[in-house]
Amino acid sequence: MALPEPPQSFFPSKDEFLRLLTVLLVACAVAFTCNFLAKSMSSNPTISFCDSNFDSLDSDLDLCEPCPINGECYQRKLKCNHGYRKKGNLCVEDGEINELTKKLVGYFERKVCEAYADSECYGTGKIWVPENDVWEDLRSNVFLNTLDESAYIFVKGKAVEAVTELLQKRTNSNGINELKCPESVVKSYKPLTCRIHQWLLRNILIISSSCVMLVGCAILRRKIRSKRQFSRRVEELYNQVCDFLEENALASNSSDDCVPWVIASWLRDYLLLPRERRDPQLWSKVEELIQEDSRIDRYQKLVKGEQRVVLEWQVEGSLSLSKLKKRRETEKKDIKVIGSTNTSLQEYYNRRIAGKKLKSENHFY
């Protein structure tokens, strides 16, 4: 026998199901809100922090909250330790206290390191600075006047811990604590002039030897350069003497008015610059080359009643005669003669010597 099927009205419709679901959600939200408000409004204000000496094993922790770290609880009230401030149910570090501690440590470092730097640079400071002297200076500082005694003691303790890690500390024979700036830190407190002075003192041997070597090299280089210039000038003057004598010999062969010799002192004064005449060694070297040259005769001759050293070019022994002729021909093509009154120094000299020679012969006769 088949079981009868339930009527269609037994199951809710789709719209009825959605309405039922909406009612349930609203009911849950209202219940949650009411529960939250009930707990907030019905919380017992008398339940607070447990005293610091409260034994959590023998008592019910539901009656109070454990006292937080870095704080002290008495009569269900929380009081944070120095350097901490209350934030909710916790004690967090006080930023102002930390900043003040950093300022104290920086003051300690500057005071001790500047004294060490003055001692090394000028001999006026101290290498080991008494700790109490620094604290006395700090006590008179403005930024510590706002602290009460307990806060000052707390800040001092934290600063001492930080200073001990940063600076070197010792106790002298009198039982006084002294501080010293490390060598790696004191360098930054020395003036630039002091650091340069100390660097020079440390490297005085290297610097002095380097300076001596540089000066010696400079002097040696100058001497070598001067010697090269001297040798170059001697050769240049010697070549000028040869050219002058050779041209003078050619001129004397082509004209009876020119003499084949040249007074050595005149030729010296003609070729040398005024400043070169003060150096007798220069012309001496030129004369040595002249004496070694077989193409040049050097002998004594009576000129105007005085014995003078003259130089004469031997045409037969000339090695550069053809070259000089070509050069003279080229120069004649390039040079434009302006005016008939312009004559060369060599021709003027030859005419002058010939005239003086003629006068001396006439006077002799």
HEC sequence for the chain: CCCCCCCHHHCCCHHHHHHHHHHHHHHHHHHHHHHHHHHHHCCCCCCCECCCCCCCCCCCHHHCECCCCCEEEECCEEEECCCEEEECCEEEECHHHHHHHHHHHHHHHHHHHHHHHHHHHCCCCCCCEEHHHHHHHHHCCHHHCCCCHHHHHHHHHHHHHHHHHHCEEEECCCCCEEEECCHHHHHHHCCHHHHHHHHHHHCHHHHHHHHHHHHHHHHHHHHHHHHHHHHHHHHHHHHHHHHHHHHHHHHHHHCCCCCCEEEHHHHHHHHCCCCHHHCHHHHHHHHHHHHHCCCEEEEEEEECCEEEEEEEECHHHCCCHHHHHHHHHHHHHHCCCCCCCCCCHHHHHHHHHHHHHHHHHHHHC
Reading phi first (left if > 0) and then psi (alpha if -120 to 50, else beta), residue 4 is in: beta
Average pLDDT of the chain, as a whole number: 77
Least confidently predicted of 45-49, 118-122, 133-137:
45-49
The end-to-end CA distance of the chain, in Å, is 193
**166 contacts 104 by C-beta, under 8 angstroms:** no
Q: What is the pLDDT of residues 220-231, one digit of tens each?
A: 999 999 999 999
pLDDT bin (cut points 50, 70, 90) of residue 191 is confident
Average pLDDT rounded to a whole number, residues 296-323: 75
Q: Which residue has the higher pLDDT, 87 or 144?
A: 87
In this model, does residue 332 exceed pLDDT 70? no
**115 contacts 125 by C-beta, under 8 angstroms:** yes
Nearest of 197, 192, 181, 194 to residue 114 by alpha carbon: 181
Please tell me the predicted confidence (pLDDT) of residue 132: 84
Please tell me the predicted confidence (pLDDT) of residue 30: 83
**354 contacts 259 by C-beta, under 8 angstroms:** yes
CA-to-CA dists, residue 45 to 49, 50, 86, angstroms = 11, 13, 18
**105 contacts 155 by C-beta, under 8 angstroms:** no
Average pLDDT rounded to a whole number, residues 278-307: 88
In this model, does residue 26 exceed pLDDT 70? yes
Least confidently predicted of 192-206, 247-261, 330-344:
330-344
In this model, does residue 63 exceed pLDDT 70? no
Q: Which residue has the higher pLDDT, 357 or 17?
A: 17
Cα distance between residue 207 and residue 192, in whole Å: 19
Average pLDDT rounded to a whole number, residues 80-89: 74
pTM comes to 0.45
Q: Which of 207-216, 299-308, 346-355 has the highest mean pLDDT?
A: 207-216
Please tell me the predicted confidence (pLDDT) of residue 329: 59
In this model, does residue 10 exceed pLDDT 70? no
Cα distance between residue 107 and residue 66, in whole Å: 39
Average pLDDT rounded to a whole number, residues 157-176: 85
Average pLDDT rounded to a whole number, residues 326-340: 48
Percent of the chain residues past pLDDT 90, beyond the cut = 12
Please tell me the predicted confidence (pLDDT) of residue 335: 44
Q: Which residues contact 200 (CB under 8 A, 6 or more apart)?
A: 207
Q: In this structure, how many other beta carbons lie within 10 angstroms of the beta carbon of residue 127?
A: 14
Average pLDDT rounded to a whole number, residues 14-20: 75
Average pLDDT rounded to a whole number, residues 270-295: 89
Q: Which two tokens stand for residue 260?
A: 């084949």
Please tell me the predicted confidence (pLDDT) of residue 62: 58
Nearest of 210, 213, 273, 262 to residue 237 by alpha carbon: 273
Burial category of 221 from C-beta neighbours within 10 Å (exposed 0-12, middle 13-18, buried 19 and up): exposed
pLDDT bin (cut points 50, 70, 90) of residue 143 is low
